[in-house]
């Protein structure tokens, strides 16, 4: 009696008909299309944060300037203006193209913006990928606005420093310019105008205590020493003329006061 046995596939035969490793593993594109809600592998938290959208640079710059100077954004009064920064367009609830259709307090540029209401609206109407994109956009905008605000403050501070330096240079050149003008006028004018020049020189010497005190107050010791040397030469040349001793004492008092302070 012969035994009836069922046919069996050999190991070689089963291996010959099995698909290779490349065909047994689903591709990344297949996973992306099968994920619910249009969520792709690129929108997972580990990868979506690395791919930040590139917002319009000009729009961010204008918005930064408006925020810094507290200006009203253009088009807020007209319903036909540009779409305000609010819940992104690509949401599960559909395309929100009309700003008036958005709930109150969810438009970022409005004065009545409510952060909690904006978050609730975003979570209730958007997919996970849209929420991650909105987060990346907001983080990028915040960093950009903060950097531009610091740049504006730095620019204004630099302008202030340059203005102070310019004022200081002009003040230090005032005495030198006056002395130079007196010397030029003295050498160029005829003898008939010597009286006028001497009068201006006397007035300049009489004003020496005030100038020296101002130089000392402004911590311009070099200018004070130079001015005092010039005045001292004139006082020595005038000798015992009336008023010379009073001016000399006043100037020496100012200069000695600086030495005592040191």
The 3-class SS string of 121-132 reads: HHHHHCCHHHHH
Looking at residue 83, what is its pLDDT? 42
Looking at residue 118, what is its pLDDT? 85
Does residue 96 sit in the same domain as residue 142?
Answer: yes
Q: Is residue 150 part of a domain?
A: yes
Q: Is residue 129 part of a domain?
A: yes
pTM beyond 0.75, yes or no? no
Q: Is residue 165 part of a domain?
A: no
Looking at residue 56, what is its pLDDT? 63
Per the structure, the complete domain to which residue 234 belongs is given by 189-261
Looking at residue 241, what is its pLDDT? 81
Q: Is residue 38 part of a domain?
A: no
CA distances from residue 143 to 51, 61, 225 in whole angstroms, order as listed: 16, 12, 52
Does residue 61 sit in the same domain as residue 146?
Answer: yes
Q: Number of structural domains, the chain?
A: 2
Q: Which residues pair with 91 in a beta bridge?
A: 94
Distance CA 35, CA 14 (A): 33
Does residue 137 sit in the same domain as residue 198?
Answer: no
Q: Is residue 221 part of a domain?
A: yes
Instruction: Render each residue's pLDDT in the chain as its tens digit; 262 residues.
Output: 444 444 444 444 444 444 444 444 444 444 444 444 444 444 444 444 444 445 566 677 777 777 766 666 555 544 444 444 444 444 443 344 444 445 555 677 777 888 888 888 888 888 999 989 988 998 999 999 999 999 999 899 999 999 998 888 887 777 777 778 877 777 766 655 667 788 888 889 889 889 988 888 888 888 888 888 898 888 888 888 888 888 888 888 888 875 555 5
Burial-class residue 107 by CB neighbours within 10 Å (0-12, 13-18, 19+).
buried
Looking at residue 189, what is its pLDDT? 61
Looking at residue 45, what is its pLDDT? 44
CA distances from residue 229 to 226, 236, 255 in whole angstroms, order as listed: 5, 11, 11
Does residue 62 sit in the same domain as residue 153?
Answer: yes
């Amino acid at each position: 009696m012969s035994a009836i046995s069922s046919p069996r596939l050999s190991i070689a035969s089963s291996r010959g008909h099995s698909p290779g490793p490349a065909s047994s593993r689903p591709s990344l594109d297949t996973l992306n299309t099968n994920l619910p809600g249009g969520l792709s592998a690129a929108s997972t938290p580990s990868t979506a944060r690395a791919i930040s959208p590139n917002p319009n640079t000009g729009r961010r710059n204008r918005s930064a300037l408006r925020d810094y100077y507290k200006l009203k954004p253009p088009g807020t009064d007209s319903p036909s203006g540009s779409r305000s920064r609010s819940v992104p367009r690509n949401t599960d609830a559909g395309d929100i193209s009309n700003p008036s259709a958005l709930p109150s307090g969810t438009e970022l540029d409005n004065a009545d913006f409510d952060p909690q209401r904006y978050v609730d609206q975003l979570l209730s109407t958007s997919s996970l990928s849209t929420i991650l994109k909105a987060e990346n956009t907001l983080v990028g905008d915040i960093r950009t606005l903060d950097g531009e605000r610091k740049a504006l403050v730095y620019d204004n501070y630099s302008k202030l420093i340059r203005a102070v330096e310019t004022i200081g240079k002009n003040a230090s050149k005032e005495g030198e310019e006056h002395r130079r003008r007196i010397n030029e006028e003295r050498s160029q004018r005829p003898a008939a105008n010597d009286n006028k020049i001497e009068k201006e020189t006397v007035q300049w010497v009489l004003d020496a205590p005030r100038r020296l005190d101002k130089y000392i107050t402004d911590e311009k010791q070099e200018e004070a020493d130079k001015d005092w040397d010039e005045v001292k030469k004139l006082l020595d040349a005038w000798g015992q003329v009336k008023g010379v001793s009073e001016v000399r004492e006043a100037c020496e008092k100012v200069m000695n006061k600086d030495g005592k302070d040191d």
